Structure formats: C-alpha cells, structure tokens
Structure 1
C-alpha cells in the first residue's frame, strides 16, 4: 500500500501519502450521510454540513471562513447519501492549521441558532435552484422511486417545511448518534513526513473521546420496475433509464464500472454518445453512471433531447444495450475499453485532492487502498462473458426502469 496508515486510540483511522508538492490536501471523511437520518430528520445531515462553518467554542463564523482563505488555502465540505466530508487545501507549511480547523469545526461546533436560521435560507435557495434544474431534479425523483420505502430514496437537501423546524438541539442529537469515531478517516496527501503526520493526528484528533457506531442501516425493500412520465415546465425531454445495481462489496462492481464507462463515460467515443449524439445529433448530453452503496447500488443512463425525439433516443439506446446483452462486443473493443478506463483512472490519480478523497472512501469501506497494479489486474481480467452477464442483469428488461420529464 502506498499510504501510511495509523489508528488513534479513539478509533479514528488516519492515512497519509507523501508526495513532492507545495500543496497539502487533507480531509475528514465520516461514514454518515442522508441515509442515516430518521424519518423526522430528513435534510439534517446536509444542514449539519453547513452548520459546521457557523461557529465553534473557539471561533465565530467569520474566523472559520478566514482561517485558511487568508493564507491562500480553502476549506469546504459536501454530503452524500452515505458520507459527509470536510476537506481543506493549503500550502505545505499550513498543514497543521488545516488539520486543527477541521477538528475544531467537526468536534467543537456550537451551532448558534441565529446563524442556523440564516443558513436555512441559504439551503432553501439551494433547494429552489435544484427545482429549476430538471437535469438534476430528475435524478432525485428517480431515486425516490427506485429506493421507495428506504432512507436512500429521499433528497439529500430535504424539504423546506422540515428544514425550517430544526434547532441546534436536533443537530447535537444527530451528531451524538451518527458521528462515531470508528466511522471516520482522516486522509492526507502532500509533502508531509510520516512523523509530522502522526504528531498532527495525535494532537488534533487523538484527544476526542471514543464513540462506537450503535446502529445499522435499514435494508432497502424490493421494488418492481416501472415506466413513468412526469410533466414539468422544461424545454426539453429529460429521461433516466436504470435500476438497482451492485453494492460496494460485490466483486461484479468492477465489471459494471467498466461497462458503464464503455456505454456512457466521459469520452466522446462512448457507445451511447456515438449512437445518439455523433451519428444522429439527437442530444447534447448523454451519460451513464454507477453509484455503489454499502448494501445496494444504482445504475443509470441519462439524456436530454427535444420532446418530439425522445422515443427515437430510447430506440437507439435499446439497440446499443441489446448488442451488449447479446454478446456483440468484439475483443478489440473490449481491449480498447479497458485501456481507456485504466488511462482515465491513472490520470485522475494525478489530481491529489481527488485521489485523497477516493482513497479515504476506500479505506472507510475496505480498510485498504488498492495499488495501481491491483486495479490494473482487476480491470485487465474482465472477460466478455462477464460483461454480457452483467449487462443482462443490470440493463435487462426485468431490472430496467424509466422516468421521463416531457
């Protein structure tokens, strides 16, 4: 493993990779997201992410905002269905300041009610911006349907009516229940020695009391495939095809990741981009995605097009999926797909911030980080038969659902 790993007595895991750079990237990744909210807490995980920046026992909001920015660095955070991440980028000499600030806002936030009320208005504006963006909103609606009856389904932002009722006591209870030290990873990539890394972790994170996870996530319930149209005020038709997919511990996720990239990855020569955009000029954007969760996953194909030509797009997509499901994937195309995907991963790993965040998530889930040679081997051994089997299971008619705005 390229990373130095160190576990504090309170259970916080720390990982570090030393590279030659004037910049240090660091983050605290917590295995807590919107999925861990109870029914009466929807939107609370995301509100908490915002509230971290509003004051601690040591600092007011202004001082939090200025601490790293005045040094040319930056502090930020984001919330997903299963994680919350607070991350910073600084010059090498300011690494300890960044670590101390992250520890301060996560473990010593006071959540002043006056600041919370102002931040709720900011989140309301964020909710409204999502509603004005059908290409974003359709994903939320689709996930609501695919994961109906599960906390995975509801929107990360929550709803306005619930949001306005939350108090600092609600945040404190949520933190006490879900921010467990055995579910945290502090990750660092930069020109920091192993000793300095360990000393910094001990100093700023080692003094926190131990807190063990005392709950398990609710299992998702079965759902039948569906085909639905919703009428929204939008100029285009927006459409998602997809269904449930493999979880983080299913080895077939590697095969599906490769298939997803082949079908609708970021390259202009993805199969769906060639069929729908390049050869027929039907869509500006068409993409495929795969998101694995702890016990399930989500595979999607999204496109936006003229309302009159949406059915034509669906026919072209079905044609490409049928080719894959029936085994019409040449050895040459599979070889190119593997080489392309490996190249994208290698280039992405050159972005230290991106690599740090993905490594932290890997360590959080697997307590391990695959070396590039291991990744290369896993992708290189994928066979055409495996691609066909996964395509039939994930993109077969029995699993495929559709939601369209038109």
Structure 2
C-alpha cells in the first residue's frame, strides 16, 4: 500500500493510499471547520451546512445528486464533529471522477434555496428532538457542556433550537466564506485510486480557489462541574469525565491504553467488577475522546436509580485502585485491543481515507502504521500508572446525570473520594 501527499499551490492538501486488489474507492473532503469554530450566535451552523450540502447546487437538484451516485451503485454522505465537517463518497474505481465531481459541486456551488432551508430546518429540529428523547445520547452533550463551560468546545454540535430556527441563507454563506478555504480542506482518497489522477481532478475542481486566512479555534480549557436532570426513566444514566491529553500529546497512547484497561471491554476492571460481579448495570465503559489541545476520559453506565450511589462509589474505587493495581497482563491486553482495533478498522477504504485525512490534519504528514504500533508498544506499566495517578490527583471532574437521579452523588464528593 502506498501513501502519497501533495499540496496544491493554494494550500489544499491531497492525500491518497492505493490498496491493491480492491475494485472500489473512498474519496472525500475533510474541512477543518466544526462546532468549535462557531461563534456563539452560530452554534449549530456547521451541522446545518452539512445538511444543506445535498439540497441542490447550480448544476444539480437534490434528486439528481442522489440519483447520479446511486445510478452507479455508490453512496455519498457527510458528518459534522466538533473539529471537522466531512463530505465523502464510496464508488467503484471507474466512478471516482464522478464522485469527485459530485463532492466538489456540493461544496463549491450550493444554492441554499430558501425553500430547502426551511425543509432541512424541520429535519434538524426533529433530529434535536430525537436526541433529547435518547438519554444515552444527550447526556454526552451535557457532559461536554459542564467539562468546557462557556466555550465553543462545550457547545452541542446540533445547536440550540432557537439558533436553528433563525439561520438563513446569508448565515450559511458567511460561514462558508470564513471557513471553507483551500487551506482548511484535505482531499483524501483510498482504495482503487491513482494518486496522479486524484491530484489532476483536485486541481481542476479546487485549484482556482483563492487562499483565505485559516481561522484558529479558541483553546479548550477543562473546568468540570455537574449537570443533573431528574426525570422518570427506567434507568439512571451516569457519566463522569476526567481531563485527558489532546491528540497531539505524547501521552495520548498512554491515556487510551489506560481507558481500555479500565473499561474498554468485557475483561476490563469496570465491566468485571460492576456488571459481572455486582450486576449493577447492563452497560458500562470508559473511553478517551481527544481534540487538538485537550481531551476527555469518559466513563458511562446506566443503572437503576436505587443503585446509582453504589455504582458511582465502585467506579471511583476502581479508578483509585488502578493507580497501584494495574498489572502487566492488563496493560498487555489493552495494547493488543488497541492494535487489533486499529488494524481491523483499516480494512475498508472508507476507514483508510478518514485516517489519512485525520493524520494530515494533525501532523501534515501520514506517519507509517508501524510508527503508531511502536508508540503503543512503548507504553509501559509505569507510564500507565503515572497517568492513573494524575487523574486521581487532578482535583477536577465533570459529571452528568439523567433519570431518577435526585439522590445521586455530587461531583465534588466524587472528586474528594478520588483523592482520598
């Protein structure tokens, strides 16, 4: 497999990876413009813009976009995160030029028809309503909010209802003008692709774009706090977050290995102690989510309201015990899970294309896969235990509770127990 990277004169980066024996390809544009790049009055507009991508261009109607990609058996989609908005397609190798033409068309020539804006506004409001009705979904937005209060990184990606109701065509055009310059875009393709062809297509589609000033997102500063929403639900939903490194940090692999050992699978400490031995929950896990400059280690569990206190106490105890108690076997197992998950996840061209874009955005290069494996293998028991100790002694945590949680713990109590 061959990775190649080229930068156009206007700053747009093109990265490809040829995967022999494949008959299909994934191709897309990753724009470094997500939720954290919004002003307070723009909250939700990056996601709204993603929805509008497929609602018609100067050359194609919304139906024509759908028909052209599906006529060749492909698909096209998009997503918005807190740092990136991505537009991507999967097609057979002969249809890569069509996919590129579609993606460039929806990015460069949207019409933002006011009638379509109203239709999609209704769709997004329904999406917000669905999220509010999904406790184990909305609780993570609340956790993010209390972890990074009054900051772009703490705001919901979907945006508040009142903002979504107010966005109009000039708002969308303004956000595109400010954030969709070639220096903020990465064109990534993987599978049955030819690098030189992709570069030619990119030059033809995007080479004329003028460079624009690349905006810098405000830094994320972890504060912590709590949010508690009491509601009559079958389960009490519990989330706890401690600050973790950002993905540029040398410690990110240590943090991920620790979170995996703590609650990343059926053999993990949280799963074994709280679910298997005590039967206090059906779902419990821990994971690390990393951003450019900060991150969160998040623990989630759903339990009965009467068991919430016991579950939170045991969770804190397992975090405390991990400082001195993590064994070589547990760390070896976590390493193996990380490496297997990474390698298994790269068996599709879509996953490969996303990985390429992410790495170019972080490092402006694509480190060899072996480099990532070596960094995972280099994490030893002392580093993991030191990381656990830093979490226990941090003195800050974020917590969100939802459901029958009126008698649930206070975050200050949990922080105090962590440090005891």
- Structure-2-length-normalised TM-score: 0.92
Matches within 5 A, 1:1-400: 2-19=2-19, 20-213=21-214, 215-221=215-221, 223=223, 225-265=224-264, 267-325=265-323, 327-396=324-393, 398-400=395-397
Runs (5+) with no aligned partner, structure 2: 406-420
Deviation at 1:249, TM superposition (A): 1.6
CA distance in structure 2 between the aligned counterparts of 1:274 and 1:90, rounded to whole angstroms: 43
CA distance in structure 1 between the aligned counterparts of 2:332 and 2:288, rounded to whole angstroms: 21
Q: Equivalent residue of 1:284, what SS?
A: coil
Alpha-carbon RMSD across the aligned residues, in angstroms, is 1.6
Q: Indicate how the Cα distance of structure 1 residues 5 and 71 shifts in structure 2: closer, same or farther if over 3 A, else same.
A: same
Q: How many residues align?
A: 402
CA distance in structure 1 between the aligned counterparts of 2:41 and 2:334, rounded to whole angstroms: 45
Deviation at 1:150, TM superposition (A): 0.4
Residue by residue, what CA displacement relative to the aligned partner does 1:24-64 show, whole Å, maximum 9, x if unpaired? Answer: 11110010001111111111111000011111111111111
Q: Indicate how the Cα distance of structure 1 residues 16 and 220 shifts in structure 2: closer, same or farther if over 3 A, else same.
A: closer
CA distance in structure 2 between the aligned counterparts of 1:371 and 1:279, rounded to whole angstroms: 41
Greater shift after overlay, 384-393 or 90-99?
384-393
Q: Indicate how the Cα distance of structure 1 residues 281 and 95 shifts in structure 2: closer, same or farther if over 3 A, else same.
A: same
CA distance in structure 2 between the aligned counterparts of 1:372 and 1:99, rounded to whole angstroms: 27
Q: Indicate how the Cα distance of structure 1 residues 222 and 334 shifts in structure 2: closer, same or farther if over 3 A, else same.
A: closer
Residue by residue, what CA displacement relative to the aligned partner does 1:212-234 show, whole Å, maximum 9, x if unpaired? Answer: 31x322233462x4355321242
2:411 maps to what in 1? none
Q: Indicate how the Cα distance of structure 1 residues 141 and 257 shifts in structure 2: closer, same or farther if over 3 A, else same.
A: same
- Structure-1-length-normalised TM-score: 0.95
Q: Equivalent residue of 1:182, what SS?
A: helix
Residue by residue, what CA displacement relative to the aligned partner does 1:166-197 show, whole Å, maximum 9, x if unpaired? Answer: 11111001110111211111110111223322
Residue by residue, what CA displacement relative to the aligned partner does 1:305-352 show, whole Å, maximum 9, x if unpaired? Answer: 111111221222222211212x21222222222122211211111132
CA distance in structure 2 between the aligned counterparts of 1:346 and 1:389, rounded to whole angstroms: 27
Deviation at 1:279, TM superposition (A): 2.0
Greater shift after overlay, 100-109 or 386-395?
386-395
Deviation at 1:300, TM superposition (A): 0.6
Q: Equivalent residue of 1:3, what SS?
A: strand
Alpha carbons 1:291, 1:297 under 8 Å: kept: yes
Alpha carbons 1:77, 1:85 under 8 Å: kept: yes
Alpha carbons 1:393, 1:399 under 8 Å: kept: no
